[in-house]
Amino acid sequence: MGHDMHYSVFSLLRNALAGNRLWTPAWRDPQPKPSYDTLVVGGGGHGLATAYYLAKEHGITDVAVLEKGYVGSGNVGRNTTIIRSNYLLPPNTHFYEKSLQLWEGLEQDINYNAMVSQRGVLNLFHSDAQRDAYARRGNAMRLAGVDAELLDAAAVRGMVPEIDMDNARFPVKGGLLQRRGGTVRHDAVAWGYARAADRRGVDILQHTEVTGIRVEAGRVIGVETTRGFIGAKRVGLAAAGNSGRVAAMAGLRLPIESHVLQAFVSEAIKPVIDTVVTFGAGHFYVSQSDKGGLVFGGDIDGYNSYAQRGSLPAMEDVMESAVALFPGFSRLRYLRQWGGVMDMSMDGSPIIDRTPIDGLFLNCGWCYGGFKATPASGWCFAHTIATGAPHPLNAGFRLDRFATGAVIDEKGAGAQANLH
């Protein structure tokens, strides 16, 4: 089959000798079938990973992924590429550690170079109280078998000499380092999972928007799309920032707010920072891409929106933090920015669960952090869909926890989307 070419040194050589004429499309462009066993709504990282693990782990290959745009057009291709598992609360720690372990084997597993780079993630602290909170988080991580190191100011200075350690307002007193954290090339993750799912028989239907969810006698029977009705026994929703709109098609109202989050990139410069640094006195973080651009991120925009675009006030806010921490960056030229629509949950943790409608499953609430979750989210969602019940790793990520009070509020910030 044309799309079945394994990437290896041999296929590289063969193509080098054949003038690159033997490469075939990474995945097929099939016509929708009238019905499937399972439909996944949303061809972002989570939807594609779900389809892949449904096929790989559960042998369910009669699956289609329905994507209204093209693969990689959503947040999976818009994020700042950071992966880590440095969480305090046990449901999060174990879930994100599973994800990090899947990242560590991902490229071999899906036969795709995703540029997984474990360059470390360094969270800076600026006061004694903040150091104590970070020490507590680091201890919780180590008790759960996750790597964490508490660095003093001298160690931070040695690692990232460009930081202004003696900033008058926010002196840097040290940091919590997770060396196994780092970055992964975001759109390669979408392409790699799409190709790997396709090779196992999954149909990836791009430019196929879901416009309705058909429910009969409390059970989902399929979805309306811009290419007609498609039947299914099971439907999994993984629409990220559009989760509220898609779930409303089945009459569900979610505890989710949609906000824009932006990313910013500077001109390319020589290597200056070889890890990921987060500022502890504001919402700001930075890493350097392999092309040389500095990649910055910050807060969500303060109002609800479905607009996938940037704005100037957020840029000013993020650059203020950037130059507070790295005064030298004020000399850089700033190149571009963009936005993605975040599905902010009310406790900052995700939802991977069944819904009150039989056969309809929900994956959402990723806030700022869903890229790093991609492998474990797909793995757990596939398990939940295939078996009809959550895996222990996602058992805490229940939809009804906001009614029962069993919230997973990592930051203790309460039900305020902008604080998570």
Q: Can you spell out the DSSP letters for 72-109?
A: T-SGGGTS--EE----SSHHHHHHHHHHHHHHHHHHHH
42-50, 154-162, 191-199, 328-336 -> range binding ligand FAD (CB under 6 A): 42-50
Distance CA 44, CA 48 (A): 6
If one asks whether residue 27 binds ligand FAD (CB under 6 A), the answer comes out as no
Cα–Cα distances in Å, from 268 out to 279, 291, 293?
22, 6, 4
**Contact pattern for ligand FAD over residues 242 through 261, marking x by CB under 6 A:** x---x--------------x
Closest contact distance (angstroms) between CB of 135 and ligand FAD is 24
Among residues 77 and 396, whose Cβ is nearest to ligand FAD? 77
Among residues 43 and 282, whose Cβ is nearest to ligand FAD? 43
If one asks whether residue 262 binds ligand FAD (CB under 6 A), the answer comes out as yes
Tokens 């009705």 found at: 229
Distance CA 406, CA 321 (A): 34
Among residues 124 and 342, whose Cβ is nearest to ligand FAD? 342
* Contact criterion met (CB below 8 Å) for 402 and 346: yes
Among residues 175 and 241, whose Cβ is nearest to ligand FAD? 241
If one asks whether residue 366 binds ligand FAD (CB under 6 A), the answer comes out as yes
Among residues 138 and 262, whose Cβ is nearest to ligand FAD? 262
Among residues 75 and 163, whose Cβ is nearest to ligand FAD? 75
Q: How many CB atoms lie within 10 A of CB 45?
A: 33
* Contact criterion met (CB below 8 Å) for 90 and 62: no
Q: Which of 5, 52, 68, 346 binds ligand FAD (CB under 6 A)?
A: 68
* Contact criterion met (CB below 8 Å) for 390 and 263: no
Q: How many CB atoms lie within 10 A of CB 152?
A: 11
Q: Which of 5, 26, 60, 76 binds ligand FAD (CB under 6 A)?
A: 76
If one asks whether residue 41 binds ligand FAD (CB under 6 A), the answer comes out as yes
If one asks whether residue 293 binds ligand FAD (CB under 6 A), the answer comes out as no
Cα–Cα distances in Å, from 144 out to 70, 89, 92, 148, 150?
38, 10, 11, 11, 16
If one asks whether residue 65 binds ligand FAD (CB under 6 A), the answer comes out as no
Q: Which of 27, 56, 60, 67 binds ligand FAD (CB under 6 A)?
A: 67
Distance CA 363, CA 21 (A): 40
Closest contact distance (angstroms) between CB of 43 and ligand FAD is 5
Q: Which of 40, 72, 66, 42 is nearest to 54 (CA)?
A: 40
* Contact criterion met (CB below 8 Å) for 85 and 178: yes
CB-based burial label for 330 (10 Å; 0-12, 13-18, 19+): exposed
Distance CA 342, CA 257 (A): 8
Tokens 């000013």 found at: 316
If one asks whether residue 160 binds ligand FAD (CB under 6 A), the answer comes out as no
State which H helix or E strand residue 40 sits in.
strand 35-41
Closest contact distance (angstroms) between CB of 223 and ligand FAD is 8
If one asks whether residue 337 binds ligand FAD (CB under 6 A), the answer comes out as no
**Contact pattern for ligand FAD over residues 198 through 217, marking x by CB under 6 A:** -----------xx-------
28-36, 45-53, 193-201, 354-362 -> range binding ligand FAD (CB under 6 A): 45-53
Distance CA 361, CA 333 (A): 45
Instruction: State which residue has the least CB distance to ligand FAD.
Output: 44
16-24, 39-47, 172-180, 213-221 -> range binding ligand FAD (CB under 6 A): 39-47
If one asks whether residue 82 binds ligand FAD (CB under 6 A), the answer comes out as yes
Residues that bind ligand FAD (CB under 6 A): 41-47, 66-69, 73-76, 78-82, 209-210, 238-242, 246, 261-263, 297, 340, 342, 366, 368-372
